[in-house]
Chains A and B, each alone.
Chain A
Amino acid sequence: MTRTILVCCGTGCRANGGMDVSLALTAAVDAAAADANVCCVTETGCSGLCELGPLVRIMPDDIMYYRVRPSDAHDIIQKTVLESEPIERLLFKDSSGNHVLHQADNPFYGHQKKIALRNVGIIDSRSIDEYIAHGGYSALARALEMTSDEIIREVEESGIRGRGGAGFPTGRKWRSAAVLESSPKYVICNGDEGDPGAFMDGSIMDGDPHSVLEGMMIGALAIGAEEGFLYIRDEYIQAVKSMKKAIRAAEKRGLLGESILGTNRKLYFSVVRGGGAFVCGESTALMSSIEGNVGEPRAKYIHSVEKGLWGCPTVINNVETWANIPVIINGGGKKFAEIGTKDSTGTKVFALVGKVKYTGLVEVPMGITLRKLIFEIGGGIPNNRKFKAVQTGGPSGGCIPASLLDIPVDFDTLKEYGTMMGSGGMIVMDDHSCMVEFARYYVNFLCGESCGKCTPCREGLRHMRSILTNICNGYGREGDIELLEMIGSTMIDCSLCALGSSAPNPVLTTIRYFREEYEAHIREHRCPAGVCKALTAFSVNHAVCKGCMACTAVCPTRAIVQLNGGFPIITKSCNGCGSCRDVCRFNAIEAVKGGRV
């Protein structure tokens, strides 16, 4: 039997040494080349469970290995490939200690439903043939036989809403661009994904670039566009390479260029690299950037679908939205609409990260509860710590506390609770995360990213930052919380673009759900989570300390010493970084009130 060894070479696994594993496996295959058809090694995009990478999957047996080292390559070929024997030490162990052989039996994967990620981690992203072999470009062929109205009707029926964050109905957007008579028209793929804590768009572009292209081609047919741009973050080195290569391959096959698949329809796509500005994820700023200007947004009195790129009708959708389109055309809008909830159909890809056991990329049906997502798929909080909050939607989103873990994840419910879907970052926090500092972090981030064009955003963020920094440093004053709320509501009402009007969300939701933490900072000069350095000192609780000295190994300032072979103590050279507390398995290191105030 010919076997394929899928080696995950997504960014996470790459950082964990995935490329070396791939090289070692290729060498081991060559060494065992007695019968050369035993197997081939395929480098794929992100398989999802980055935390336990590098990941290796052997098909068609569907045996999944985790934390593979280059030194395991020989065993994998000899035992699993040649003798069909699984290697226990590389398998996943479930909560009851049983070894899990197949991917689908791993709870991380079992609860997922993959649409946008259907090929990511399964095919060689560099090969157009593999994409076609997995049913790729069949939706394009179908769309070529449909009228513009028929295509758009399928998309409308699917109920798909933009995956970039705001959740605008995609079908309605296409419809309003299609009815306009003017020419030229453009399609754009927003692959800027500047959200800190999100990497799904990058993973899709890297792991399955043709699905994005195919979606864009169908969109271009539907609205009558002949040119398309993919605006991709410059930091996504792999995604840029992968998309460029995919465009060239599609051109060679006659899927792009003078005539699509022999028809008289023309279509040209090109990649534009972003300049590293968060605001360029905003559609009007993004278009300004493509035109060769500073990426400043404009007020949307006139929608981009009417006057977008170079003043022409433009449809701009996010990477994940485009990747969903071929599935909608192939399976029909009705079938797609059956997944998810009534008003939020389909699935959503999340970057499940932060203080959660199994971090990685997950795609789940809309309407799944946060509890299921974090505790069943994500495996809960590491080191048996307490779940505190989950942050969704990046800097434009907000925090959801533990009491709301059972709300369904969909566009409207999240909005109701003060946050938003955003592009899909889902950052889990445990009780070692300070919500005030967290709000300060986002505001500081946005302060640097605000384009400065409108006053509420430019000045509002600066003032919020200085107030929050003061609170974190112990100089908070009575009335600060109310002032933050006032600035926030002004920004929501008066900012020019979505960056400014959503910027207060992290501050307002943390005040809404964690007001007592703000009060502790202001009134008692105490950081309950033990994060704000100016207010925190650490001490060792000798009643629970086992004297394992794991803390000394990570202390950058050597502030933990052991006197006379007893328990460790923390000396004055402690810089308050808290690394010791993070590694302590017995919770023996405690944050206490301290510092200069």
Chain B
Amino acid sequence: MNLNESDTEINEVIKAYPPERQNSLPIMQDLQKKFGYIPRNAFKKIGLYLSCSEAHLYSMATFYKALSLVPQGKHVIRLCDGTTCHIKGSVQLRDEITRLLGIRDGETTSDRLFSLQLVNCIGTCAIAPAILIDETYYGKLTPADLPAILNRYRKLEEEREREHEEENGMENGEKNEKEEKS
């Protein structure tokens, strides 16, 4: 994850909306979506653009659950703790995720791969207990199902890294070849 979001990137998101105060929430939601959190330097920019105080924006960012002030992991695990999931065992799932990943609600793993968020309802009560990882739903889970699901994302990440390395390697190789030829 890029932790130094550039001013241009932030401005791009902000300027997509007309400068009216009612757009403060959508702007912050878009920033959240793009960066996984609201970068600190964004508040000043939004405030200037919408003519409202930074304090006002902070109060919104801390009030609404969809917004976060700290960066999130690559894969956000939304563990549903809606009523149905709760009576069907979401607590067991939570304990198991904490046991497997060592993170609690709102925390991110040290390798920044996973974040865990306890959410109130993801609207899949009929297949409770359920979790939503990024945009994929997993329903009717038992704690025993979790290791396989989490490993899938770990493997995906490993593969991606390997491909990335190979690509880099190839690029370097090509460059070397080209250099040799010239």
A50 touches B81 (CB 8 A): no
Look across to chain A and name the residue whose beta carbon is closest to the beta carbon of B67. A275
Interchain CA distance A14-B132 in the complex, whole Å: 12
- Give the contacting residue for B95; candidates A290, A555, A577; CB below 8 A: A577
Write the nearest CB–CB distance from B72 to chain A, whole angstroms. Answer: 14
A12 touches B127 (CB 8 A): yes
Write the nearest CB–CB distance from B34 to chain A, whole angstroms. Answer: 14
B138 at the interface (CB under 8 A from A): yes
Quick one: which of B151-175 are within 8 Å of A by CB? none
B64 touches A275 (CB 8 A): yes
A234 touches B66 (CB 8 A): yes
Interface bin, chain A: 35 or more
Interchain CA distance A289-B50 in the complex, whole Å: 16
Among listed A86-94, A113-121, A127-135, A348-356, interface-contacting one? A348-356
- Give the contacting residue for A51; candidates B85, B89, B127; CB below 8 A: B127
A394 partner residues in chain B, CB cutoff 8 A: 83
B119 partner residues in chain A, CB cutoff 8 A: 235, 276
Interchain CA distance A273-B29 in the complex, whole Å: 9
A290 partner residues in chain B, CB cutoff 8 A: 22
B59 touches A294 (CB 8 A): yes
A12 touches B124 (CB 8 A): yes
A194 at the interface (CB under 8 A from B): yes
- Give the contacting residue for A554; candidates B52, B83, B124, B144; CB below 8 A: B144
A277 touches B63 (CB 8 A): yes
- Give the contacting residue for A199; candidates B56, B125, B135, B138; CB below 8 A: B125
B139 at the interface (CB under 8 A from A): yes
Write the nearest CB–CB distance from A103 to chain B, whole angstroms. Answer: 17
B21 touches A292 (CB 8 A): yes
Write the nearest CB–CB distance from A200 to chain B, whole angstroms. Answer: 9
A333 at the interface (CB under 8 A from B): no
Look across to chain B and name the residue whose beta carbon is closest to the beta carbon of A434. B87
B96 touches A275 (CB 8 A): no
Write the nearest CB–CB distance from A582 to chain B, whole angstroms. Answer: 7
Q: 0/1 per residue, A504-517, Cβ < 8 Å to B?
A: 00000000000000
A579 touches B92 (CB 8 A): yes
A202 touches B123 (CB 8 A): yes
Quick one: which of A400-459 are within 8 Å of B by CB? 425, 427, 429, 433, 438, 441-442, 445, 449, 451
B142 partner residues in chain A, CB cutoff 8 A: 554, 556, 579, 583
B115 at the interface (CB under 8 A from A): no
B67 partner residues in chain A, CB cutoff 8 A: 275-276
Write the nearest CB–CB distance from B23 to chain A, whole angstroms. Answer: 7
A536 at the interface (CB under 8 A from B): no
Interchain CA distance A237-B119 in the complex, whole Å: 15
B64 touches A197 (CB 8 A): no
A294 touches B63 (CB 8 A): yes
Interchain CA distance A534-B125 in the complex, whole Å: 27
A360 at the interface (CB under 8 A from B): yes
Look across to chain B and name the residue whose beta carbon is closest to the beta carbon of A295. B63
A575 at the interface (CB under 8 A from B): yes
B64 touches A355 (CB 8 A): no
A278 touches B26 (CB 8 A): no
Quick one: which of B75-92 are within 8 Å of A by CB? 78, 81-89, 91-92
**Which residue, A12, A289, A291, A361, has most C-beta atoms of chain B within 10 A?**
A12
A293 at the interface (CB under 8 A from B): yes
B95 touches A50 (CB 8 A): no
Quick one: which of A265-318 are within 8 Å of B by CB? 272-278, 289-295
- Given contacts A15-B127, A427-B84, A575-B95, A195 and B121 within 8 Å (CB-CB): yes
Q: 0/1 per residue, B110-148, Cβ < 8 Å to A?
A: 000000000111111111101000010111001110100
B24 at the interface (CB under 8 A from A): yes
B60 at the interface (CB under 8 A from A): yes
B82 partner residues in chain A, CB cutoff 8 A: 196-197
A293 touches B83 (CB 8 A): no
B65 partner residues in chain A, CB cutoff 8 A: 275-277
A579 touches B143 (CB 8 A): yes
B124 touches A425 (CB 8 A): no
A353 partner residues in chain B, CB cutoff 8 A: 84, 125-126, 128
B25 partner residues in chain A, CB cutoff 8 A: 272-273, 275, 289, 292
A522 at the interface (CB under 8 A from B): no
Quick one: which of B38-80 are within 8 Å of A by CB? 50, 52, 56, 59-60, 63-67, 78
Look across to chain A and name the residue whose beta carbon is closest to the beta carbon of B122. A235
B26 touches A272 (CB 8 A): yes
A198 partner residues in chain B, CB cutoff 8 A: 121, 125
A137 at the interface (CB under 8 A from B): no
B121 partner residues in chain A, CB cutoff 8 A: 194-199, 235
A234 touches B29 (CB 8 A): yes
A276 touches B64 (CB 8 A): yes
Write the nearest CB–CB distance from B29 to chain A, whole angstroms. Answer: 6
B56 partner residues in chain A, CB cutoff 8 A: 293
B87 touches A292 (CB 8 A): no
Interchain CA distance A291-B23 in the complex, whole Å: 8
Interchain CA distance A451-B139 in the complex, whole Å: 31
Interchain CA distance A360-B128 in the complex, whole Å: 11
B24 touches A355 (CB 8 A): no
A476 at the interface (CB under 8 A from B): no
B87 touches A355 (CB 8 A): yes
A146 partner residues in chain B, CB cutoff 8 A: none
Interchain CA distance A391-B82 in the complex, whole Å: 13
In the assembled complex, 6 residue pairs joining A and B whose CB atoms fall closer than 8 Å, in A order, are A197-B84, A197-B125, A276-B67, A295-B63, A355-B87, A360-B126
Question: Can you add 4 more A-B contacts, CB < 8 Å, to A51-B126, A274-B66?
Answer: A276-B67, A295-B64, A359-B125, A359-B126
3 shortest interchain CB distances as A-B pairs: A275-B64, A50-B126, A15-B137
